[in-house]
Amino acid sequence: MDFRIETERLVIRPLILTDYEAWKESHLSRPTAGNEYDKPGLTIDKLNLAEFEKRLSEAASNREKDLAYDYALFSKMQQKFLGSVILMRVHREIAHNCYLGYSVSPLFWGQGFGKEAVNAVIDFAFRHLKLHRVEAAIQLNNERSMRLARGVGMRHEGVRLRGLFLDNAWEDMNIYAVTSEERGIQHPGSCRAELD
């Protein structure tokens, strides 16, 4: 399957070996986190080529096993590495669902890149990965992330009490979700989807 997605301003695809310098640079240029929900860039000891190769091989294995799909976002104009979107914990059988994670480097916040990328990846999940439901668990005060979720048509389904163990405590999580029908795609509902 071709995992490459193009939008108006972005190329969205798995990382490849030749992205090493851009990936390293993006971490070095964000030493501090943009807000309390953001992670700072990786420290220099985690930015060597061997570490990068390990990440690529784990991501390829996850795709192969239909467990997770890790996407890097590149701007078409400057070919800069802007962030990532991941579809993880894919569950087939009678669920065909997955969890969504996303992060944009704070240098590029507020320009609509997050929304553009997440929107396209959700579409890819429904059309090509034949998933039926995409869910995001968002910390209760993460306003930016909730606006993004609402902006791509995810519904607020409720609060999962003590849903995730984050920063040494169980945190309540806002659950946002969208199913394929809401994007006009009828899911076949088979037990094991045949991927294109």
Ligand X SMILES: CC(C)(COP(=O)(O)OP(=O)(O)OC[C@H]1O[C@@H](n2cnc3c(N)ncnc32)[C@H](O)[C@@H]1OP(=O)(O)O)[C@@H](O)C(=O)NCCC(=O)NCCS
Residues that bind ligand X (CB under 6 A): 34, 37-38, 102-104, 109-115, 136, 138, 142-145, 147-148, 151
Q: How far is the CB of 126 from ligand X (least distance, A)?
A: 20
Q: How far is the CB of 55 from ligand X (least distance, A)?
A: 18
CA dihedral 144, 146, 148, 154 (to 10 degrees): 180
Q: How far is the CB of 176 from ligand X (least distance, A)?
A: 9
Return the SS3 of 63: helix
Q: How far is the CB of 76 from ligand X (least distance, A)?
A: 15
Per-residue CA distances from 181 to 11, 43, 99, 139 (Å) = 26, 42, 17, 26
Cβ-Cβ contacts under 8 Å for 83 (sequence gap 6 or more): 72, 73, 102, 103, 104, 105, 108, 113, 114, 117
Q: How far is the CB of 174 from ligand X (least distance, A)?
A: 9
Judged by CB, which is closer to ligand X: 15, or 121?
121
Per-residue CA distances from 39 to 13, 32, 33, 91 (Å) = 21, 8, 5, 27
Distance of alpha carbon 148 from alpha carbon 128, whole angstroms: 23
Judged by CB, which is closer to ligand X: 9, or 55?
9
Judged by CB, which is closer to ligand X: 90, or 149?
149
Judged by CB, which is closer to ligand X: 105, or 179?
105
Which residue's C-beta sits nearest to ligand X?
114
Judged by CB, which is closer to ligand X: 56, or 117?
117
